[in-house]
């Protein structure tokens, strides 16, 4: 009987079977061109003979090379270096319906998908995560009513009051144009020249020179919407609001010396931390809330609600929680998602509207304009990561990289041929309508006098910090201004600091070698324009309603968990099995991550002869990459570590950066071999985060010490070379 076609062996099927063995997931995905044509040879270009020239007709070579040549898009002018994650937002209850008709904020049954991108601001894509800088905190809410983008930072104020100065600010802080130096740093002449002539920047400078600018991780920093927005309810009543994110793990920072070293050891430190935490199921979480100010109370404060260089102290208007933000999935592809995501403050939904903040108003133009260049044209919102959940219907057509295929003849409104579609939605059916604010005034280039107090909140911020935080801030100013080459600029900045705090000004002047604290140069404000009244150049300093705001200090943050904290166990062959495993089990039960660090990679053998996997060697790891250090018992292990200079340095450096250190049994001998042993006189000092013990309390005491994050008081009394 003659075989039918279906009885014949299918060579292509066999080929696909073989291919499946070589794919990452064994799914049998064969290579194709961009048009879907199966590729037979991805190794050799088409040539005229084996050693002849490549042929122009090789369409596959041309496609592959052309795509590669165009893989890179222009990086963001600011916020170029970022990391992102998917997650969700969920409201706690429906109580906010009295303030806003935004359904995702008032329906606790909804889990609104989000995509959050964190970033530094000044550096390029290849810069370090640990630069002293503002951190971007931008959230894309994929609501059922459209996209809402909350484009914020980890600092609630900004350098400037009006968007027209944004290009000047960024030109000043970016690398200097004659030599493209320095990268991702504000410690240079042009930045400090600009801010010394722009006193409205003073409040923001206090934040950027504080520990807030070098966070421990993206997961341990606050987020803010910066601007004053409005909620609008179903009745059309508006309420002024400020957006806040509060991290469930509390706010924590690193030491400046530590940040410098992390930049060398692991410049992807924050990116890696976010990715690994989510992969491990330790999902980052923030409480999302707002400060609410009734429209009739707009002018009751001693600052202007529309001024983006001002906060509303939480002691005056508490943050009211709305719901929680959780990040639970890493991107599948960095470029397609993290790099191509396009945020825009103008993307709002019914129930959320703008204020007349002049910085916000300028951003509403700038973000769209930027995406047109960066993402190739007006269809950037059709890129998958930018698409809304609800279907888009409008009369916008064509353009570069159009994805949507529109059917029908009509692309205009009004029309009869298309049945009038797409039709305009009524407000009661969810159509967006701006809050009907009454506006009167002359067309004028000017700044409101209510914006002219540049120093009072800078003083409030400085006074609210703990003593170690104030020390770090003054040290940061001394470091930054120490990099400035022009004496006149240094003097202008220190002169402005006298309006903030005279003690601070004196510390900084001394640190950069000024013989005395200079008088503030007059006029103080160079930014008001030629037609300004001379009296407007004099400093305005208003008495604040409160002298200190505990919410501004990181000292009082949550210290009730060691979840995701990285703890280094220093060990070598012969480490005591029980001393290692008992503390390891106790820490991991609390959610910490234990990393065994040894003189070599691979495995070491404990006292019971069992192999212990080494996570990192001293050659590839450092104390700056962990939150705490533990040395288990074991004579042979400790003896080997004492003879390992990197192990001794590990202890010294961890102590210098004020981290919790614990040692069990003979592990104390390694402490004695370091500078730390000299400082401690061989005694345990739990109040300073040093736990030296041989009893069952060691693990519990160590856990409590790690919860405190850092023991900054060491900096004041102990200077250890490391």
For 128-149, what is each residue's pLDDT tens digit?
999 999 999 999 999 999 999 9
Whole-number pLDDT of residue 525: 81
Residues 663-686: what's their mean pLDDT?
83
Distance CA 64, CA 108 (A): 48
Confidence class of residue 25 from pLDDT cuts 50, 70 and 90? low
Distance CA 59, CA 65 (A): 10
Mean pLDDT lowest among 26-40, 372-386, 582-596: 26-40
Q: Which CATH architecture has domain 454-552?
A: Up-down Bundle (1.20)
Distance CA 572, CA 590 (A): 25
To the nearest 10 degrees (0 to 180), the angle between helices 645-656 and 635-642 is 80
Distance CA 482, CA 475 (A): 10
* 561, 572 Cβ separation under 8 angstroms: no
Distance CA 216, CA 256 (A): 11
Catalytic one of 79, 188, 203, 347: 79
Catalytic status, residue 153:
yes
User: For the chain, what is the largest distance between any 2 Cα atoms, rounded to a whole number of angstroms?
Assistant: 108
Whole-number pLDDT of residue 393: 87
* 464, 552 Cβ separation under 8 angstroms: yes
Question: What is the CB neighbour count within 10 angstroms for residue 67?
Answer: 10
* 628, 660 Cβ separation under 8 angstroms: yes
Task: Give the full edge-to-edge strand order of the sheet including 593-598.
Answer: 616-617, 593-598, 566-570, 628-631, 660-664, 690-693
Whole-number pLDDT of residue 447: 85
CATH number assigned to the domain with residue range 82-386, chosen from the 4 options 3.40.1390.10, 3.30.450.40, 2.40.440.10, 2.40.180.10: 2.40.180.10
Residues 549-576: what's their mean pLDDT?
97
Q: Which two tokens stand for residue 202?
A: 């003073």
Whole-number pLDDT of residue 8: 46
Per-residue pLDDT of 453-499, as tens digits, reads 999 999 999 999 999 999 999 999 999 999 999 999 999 999 999 99
* Strands 238-247 vs 320-329: parallel, antiparallel or unpaired: unpaired
Mean pLDDT lowest among 57-71, 503-517, 591-605, 677-691: 677-691
Residues 247-272: what's their mean pLDDT?
97
Which letter, b or e, does each residue of 126-162 get, where b requires 16 or more Cβ atoms within 10 Å of its Cβ? Answer: ebbbbbbbbbbbbbbbbbebbbbbbbbbbbbbbbbbb
Q: Which two tokens stand for residue 707?
A: 């919860």
Above pLDDT 90, what percent of the chain?
73
pLDDT of 554 > 70? The answer is yes
Distance CA 657, CA 715 (A): 8
Whole-number pLDDT of residue 722: 73
Q: For the chain, percent helix, then strand, then coil, each to nearest 5? A: 35, 15, 50
Residue 681, CA distances (Å) to 629, 634, 651, 666, 721 in order? 19, 22, 15, 16, 17
Per-residue pLDDT of 277-301, as tens digits, reads 999 999 999 999 999 999 999 999 9
pLDDT of 261 > 70? The answer is yes
Which letter, b or e, does each residue of 454-477 get, where b requires 16 or more Cβ atoms within 10 Å of its Cβ? Answer: bbbbbbbbbbbbeebbbebbbbbb
* Mean of pLDDT over the chain: 92
pLDDT of 568 > 70? The answer is yes
Distance CA 446, CA 550 (A): 35
Distance CA 220, CA 286 (A): 9
* 439, 448 Cβ separation under 8 angstroms: no
pLDDT of 3 > 50? The answer is no
Q: Which two tokens stand for residue 3?
A: 């075989």
Tell me which residue of 645, 640, 648 sits closest to 673, measured CA to CA.
Answer: 648
Mean pLDDT lowest among 52-66, 307-321, 523-537, 587-601: 523-537
Per-residue pLDDT of 616-643, as tens digits, reads 999 999 999 999 999 999 999 999 999 9
User: Residue 422, preceding bond cis, omega within 30 degrees?
Assistant: yes
Whole-number pLDDT of residue 67: 85
H/E run at residue 286: strand 285-294
Whole-number pLDDT of residue 28: 74
Better-scored residue on pLDDT, 396 or 567: 567
551: buried, middle or exposed (CB in 10 Å: 19+, 13-18, 0-12)?
A: middle
User: What is the fold, at CATH topology level, of the domain defined by 566-717?
Assistant: Rossmann fold (3.40.50)
Whole-number pLDDT of residue 427: 83
Question: What is the CB neighbour count within 10 angstroms for residue 593?
Answer: 19
Whole-number pLDDT of residue 5: 41
Q: Which of 17-21, 197-201, 421-425, 521-525 has the highest mean pLDDT?
A: 197-201
* 380, 362 Cβ separation under 8 angstroms: no
Whole-number pLDDT of residue 434: 84
Radius of gyration of the chain (CA): 30
Q: Phi and psi of 564, rounded to 5°?
A: 70, 5
| Residue 113 Rama label (left phi>0; alpha psi -120 to 50; beta) | beta
Residue 191, CA distances (Å) to 178, 187, 461, 473, 512 in order? 14, 7, 22, 18, 17
Q: Is 587 helix (H, G, I), strand (E, B) or coil?
A: helix
- The full set of domain ranges for the chain reads 82-386, 454-552, 566-717
Whole-number pLDDT of residue 563: 97
Among the residues of 144-301, which ranges form H helices?
166-173, 189-196, 202-208, 256-265, 269-279
Confidence class of residue 684 from pLDDT cuts 50, 70 and 90? low
First to last CA, the chain: 86
Catalytic one of 22, 67, 153, 178: 153
Strand-pairing partners, residue 87, are 114, 327
- Provide CB contacts within 8 A for 358, sequence distance 6+: 161, 162, 163, 306
Residue 222, CA distances (Å) to 216, 217, 243, 346, 542 in order? 12, 11, 11, 22, 27
Per-residue pLDDT of 78-114, as tens digits, reads 999 999 999 999 999 999 999 999 999 999 999 999 9
Mean pLDDT lowest among 57-71, 283-297, 650-664: 57-71
Beta strand spans in 572-627 (E): 593-598, 603-605, 611-613, 616-617
Confidence class of residue 513 from pLDDT cuts 50, 70 and 90? very high
Distance CA 442, CA 352 (A): 27
* 610, 577 Cβ separation under 8 angstroms: yes
H/E run at residue 479: helix 467-482
pLDDT of 532 > 80? The answer is no
pLDDT of 168 > 70? The answer is yes
Confidence class of residue 22 from pLDDT cuts 50, 70 and 90? very low
Residues 206-212: what's their mean pLDDT?
98
Confidence class of residue 220 from pLDDT cuts 50, 70 and 90? very high
Catalytic status, residue 390:
no
H/E run at residue 677: helix 675-680
Residue 328, CA distances (Å) to 87, 282, 604 in order? 5, 8, 35
Whole-number pLDDT of residue 399: 86
Q: Which two tokens stand for residue 708?
A: 């405190």
Tokens 């931008």 belong to which residue? 138
Total residue length of the chain: 722
pLDDT of 366 > 50? The answer is yes
Confidence class of residue 27 from pLDDT cuts 50, 70 and 90? low
- Provide CB contacts within 8 A for 103, sequence distance 6+: 110, 143, 144, 145, 351
pLDDT of 363 > 70? The answer is yes
* 81, 127 Cβ separation under 8 angstroms: yes
pLDDT of 16 > 50? The answer is no
pLDDT of 428 > 90? The answer is no
């Amino acid at each position: 009987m003659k075989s039918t076609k279906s009885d014949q062996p299918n060579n292509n099927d066999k080929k696909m079977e073989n291919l499946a063995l070589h794919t990452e997931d064994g799914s049998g995905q064969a290579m194709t061109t961009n048009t879907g044509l199966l590729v037979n040879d991805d190794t050799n270009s088409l040539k005229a003979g084996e050693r002849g020239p490549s042929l122009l007709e090789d369409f596959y070579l041309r496609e592959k090379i052309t795509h590669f040549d165009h893989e890179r898009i222009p990086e963001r002018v600011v916020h170029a270096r970022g990391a992102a994650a998917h997650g969700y937002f969920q409201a706690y209850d429906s109580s906010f319906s009295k303030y806003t008709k935004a359904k995702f904020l008032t329906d606790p049954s909804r889990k609104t998908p989000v995509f959050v991108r964190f970033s530094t601001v000044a550096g390029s894509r290849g810069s370090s995560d640990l630069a002293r800088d503002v951190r971007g905190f931008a959230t894309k809410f994929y609501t059922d009513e459209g996209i809402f983008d909350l484009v914020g930072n980890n600092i609630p104020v900004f350098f400037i009051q009006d968007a027209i100065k944004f290009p000047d600010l960024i030109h000043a802080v970016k690398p200097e144009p004659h030599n493209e130096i320095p990268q991702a740093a504000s410690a240079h002449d042009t930045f400090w020249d600009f801010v010394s002539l722009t006193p409205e920047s003073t409040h923001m400078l206090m934040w950027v020179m504080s520990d807030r600018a070098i966070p421990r991780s993206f997961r341990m920093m606050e987020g803010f919407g910066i601007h004053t927005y409005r909620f609008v309810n179903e009745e059309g009543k508006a309420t002024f609001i400020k957006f806040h994110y509060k991290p469930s793990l509390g706010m924590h920072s690193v030491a400046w010396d530590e940040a410098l070293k992390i930049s060398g050891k692991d410049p992807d430190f924050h990116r890696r931390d976010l990715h690994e935490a989510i992969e491990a199921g330790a999902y980052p979480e923030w409480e999302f809330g707002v400060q609410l100010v009734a429209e009739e109370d707009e002018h009751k404060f001693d600052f202007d609600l529309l001024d983006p260089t001002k906060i509303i102290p939480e002691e005056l208007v508490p943050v009211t929680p709305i719901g929680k933000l959780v990040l639970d999935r890493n991107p599948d592809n960095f470029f397609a998602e993290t790099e191509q995501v396009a945020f825009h403050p103008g993307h709002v939904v019914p129930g959320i509207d703008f204020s007349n903040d002049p910085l916000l108003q300028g951003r509403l133009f700038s973000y769209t304009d930027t995406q047109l260049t960066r993402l190739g044209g007006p269809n950037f919102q059709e890129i998958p990561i930018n698409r809304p959940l609800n279907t888009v219907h409008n009369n916008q057509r064509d353009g570069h990289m159009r994805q949507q295929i529109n059917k029908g003849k009509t692309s205009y409104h009004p029309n009869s041929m298309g049945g009038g579609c797409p039709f305009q939605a009524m407000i009661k059916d969810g159509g967006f309508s701006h809050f009907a604010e009454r506006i009167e005034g002359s067309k004028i280039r000017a700044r409101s006098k209510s914006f002219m107090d540049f120093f009072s909140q800078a003083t409030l911020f400085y006074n609210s910090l703990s003593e170690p935080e104030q020390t770090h801030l003054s040290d940061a100013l001394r470091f930054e201004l120490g990099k400035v080459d022009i004496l006149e600029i240094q003097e202008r900045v220190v002169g402005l600091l006298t309006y903030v705090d005279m003690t601070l000004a004196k510390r900084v002047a001394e640190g950069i070698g000024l013989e005395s604290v200079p008088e503030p140069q007059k006029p103080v404000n160079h930014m008001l324009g030629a037609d300004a009244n001379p009296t407007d150049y004099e400093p305005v300093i208003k008495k604040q309603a409160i002298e200190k705001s505990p919410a501004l200090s990181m000292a009082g943050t949550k210290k009730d968990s060691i979840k995701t904290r990285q703890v280094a166990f220093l060990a070598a062959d012969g480490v005591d099995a029980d001393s290692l495993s008992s503390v390891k089990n106790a820490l991991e039960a609390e959610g910490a991550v234990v990393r065994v660090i040894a003189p070599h990679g691979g495995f070491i053998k404990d006292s019971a002869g069992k192999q212990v996997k080494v996570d990192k060697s001293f050659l590839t790891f450092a104390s700056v990459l962990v939150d705490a250090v533990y040395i288990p018992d074991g004579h042979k292990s400790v003896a080997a570590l004492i003879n390992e200079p990197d192990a001794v340095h590990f202890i010294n450096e961890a102590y210098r950066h004020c981290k919790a250190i614990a040692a069990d049994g003979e592990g104390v001998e390694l402490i004695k071999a370091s500078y730390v042993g000299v400082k401690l006189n061989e005694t345990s000092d739990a109040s300073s985060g040093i736990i030296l013990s041989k009893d069952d309390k060691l693990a519990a005491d160590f856990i409590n010490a790690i919860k405190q994050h850092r023991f900054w008081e060491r900096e004041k009394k102990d200077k250890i070379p490391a």
